[in-house]
Amino acid sequence: MAKYEIRFTKEAAKDVKKLTSNLKTKLKHILLHEIAVDPYCGKKLVGDLQDFFSFRLSYKDRVVYTIDKKRHLIFVHQARTHYGD
């Protein structure tokens, strides 16, 4: 199976800039070796976020993304906590 291309929203790009270098490295690994290979490996969200998936980055941080199957794209919407700083 071909890998999906990863794209970031403006908000997610801001989130990545705020991550520590260790978390940036972990994020890169997760995106390239987990999510890009099998986008459905993340947890499917429910309710208002039913079209989104979540993958744990750290104890409090999550990668929140959507999948565009037709264009073979992953859109990362969030790369930090949803609990606040």
- Among 27, 3, 1, residue whose Cα is nearest residue 15: 27
Burial class (CB within 10 angstroms; exposed 0-12, middle 13-18, buried 19+) of 35: buried
Domains (range + CATH), the chain: 5-78 (3.30.2310.20)
Tokens 């565009």, located at residue: 68
Report the residue count for the chain: 85
**Confidence at residue 38, expressed as pLDDT on a 0 to 100 scale:** 96
Residuewise pLDDT in 10s, the chain (85 residues): 679 999 999 999 999 999 999 999 999 999 999 999 999 999 999 999 999 999 999 998 999 999 999 999 999 999 987 655 5
Query: E strands of the chain, at which residues?
Result: 5-8, 43-44, 53-56, 62-68, 73-78
- Among 69, 84, 80, residue whose Cα is nearest residue 20: 80
